[in-house]
Amino acid sequence: MSDSDKTQTANAENSDAEKGKKNDIFVFPATLRSQVEGGATHVRFKALDGKETGAVVHLFVPQGVSIPDAAAYTTMDLGLLGGISASGNSVMGGDKAGGLTQADVVGQASSIGTIVGAKLGQAGAGAALGGMSSLRAGVASNPYTETQYTGSNIRSFGFTFKLVSESSDEADTALAIENFFRESMYPEESGPFTLKYPDRFKIEFYIGDKINKYMPFINECYLVSFNTTYNSTTNAFHKDGQPVEIDIAATFQETKALTRKNLHPEEEPQKENQNDTEEGDS
């Protein structure tokens, strides 16, 4: 065999190995697979490497899943414009018409003094004169403060799992799940000075082989922190040295802020998840 043929064969083998790694399916505990057929609830994590491919993990839904929705607001002082807008066309109508009063004139004197002073090059002096007038009269300018919406917060949330293995094989699966999350969190080198973004995650709640519509939708997200604790309540190991317990805590952050239409996307076909289960059984 020539050197060229050897190189091609090696590349093909590496490609097949990488393909197998990307398409791995991990289910923990081992009994979950049979329980899913009976309609058990579980959560599915899929790593997206940019081509909608990647490894998949199925785990029981942990206790206390929390999804924080929040919006960002600030305040804005509308000042004179706010007063004019609130009064409409009755600004000059006097007290009975809800229009401009003597107190309004005095209260706005500071703002007017600042404007006039700025035109004359003495903004500080103008503001001081207006402020003194308001102080002596015991009135203050209504700032017409209103709440201003500035956007929706990008949601972040955490999952904690206790993986207690009953056999060496289950312990190997727990290790593979740990590596799945950790490796997907880190970037790859795409050049001497650049990094490829880490994998995104698609997180879905299932009941049996169908999407659980009673659990919230989670947009694609990144894994931003991952903490692992070994044998938190025991010091037992399997024969090959695997810890009996692995506690993992993962914090995810969605890739973007959502709008109302993103909260309830159309239900996707369930065939993909069924294929995952079938491949995992094989």
- Whether the CB-CB separation of 84 and 108 falls below 8 Å is answered with no
Find the length of the chain: 282
pLDDT at 15: 40
User: Which phi and psi (to 5°) does residue 123 adopt?
Assistant: -60, -40
pLDDT > 90? residue 79 = no
Helices 123-137, 109-120: crossing angle, 10 deg rounding = 160
Sorted by sequence, the CB contacts under 8 Å of residue 6 that are 6+ apart come out as none
pLDDT category, 16, cuts 50, 70, 90?
A: very low
pLDDT category, 182, cuts 50, 70, 90?
A: very high
pLDDT at 32: 94
pLDDT at 139: 72
Burial class (CB in 10 A: 0-12, 13-18, 19+), 113: buried
pLDDT at 130: 59
Burial class (CB in 10 A: 0-12, 13-18, 19+), 56: buried
pLDDT at 129: 57
Span 118-142, mean pLDDT? 60
More confident residue, 120 or 7: 120
Residue whose pair of structure tokens reads 């040295």 in the numeric block: 241
Tokens of 121: 């090059």
> Where does 111-197 show beta strands of DSSP type E?
145-152, 156-164, 188-191, 194-196
Most confident of 21-25, 143-147, 250-254: 250-254
Span 257-273, mean pLDDT? 70
Share of the chain above pLDDT 90, in %: 50
Give the range among 113-117, 132-136, 158-162, 188-192 with minimum mean pLDDT. Answer: 113-117
Element (H, E) at 56: strand 56-59
pLDDT at 52: 63
Give the range among 66-80, 225-239, 246-260 with minimum mean pLDDT. Answer: 66-80
- Whether the CB-CB separation of 202 and 220 falls below 8 Å is answered with yes
Distance (Å, whole) CA 262 – CA 33 = 31
- Whether the CB-CB separation of 123 and 114 falls below 8 Å is answered with yes
Give the range among 9-18, 149-158, 188-197, 232-241 with minimum mean pLDDT. Answer: 9-18
pLDDT at 17: 37
134-138 contacts, C-beta under 8 A, 24 or more apart: 134/106, 134/107, 134/109, 134/110, 137/103, 137/106, 137/107
Q: Give the global pTM.
A: 0.71
Tokens of 157: 């949330």
pLDDT at 60: 95
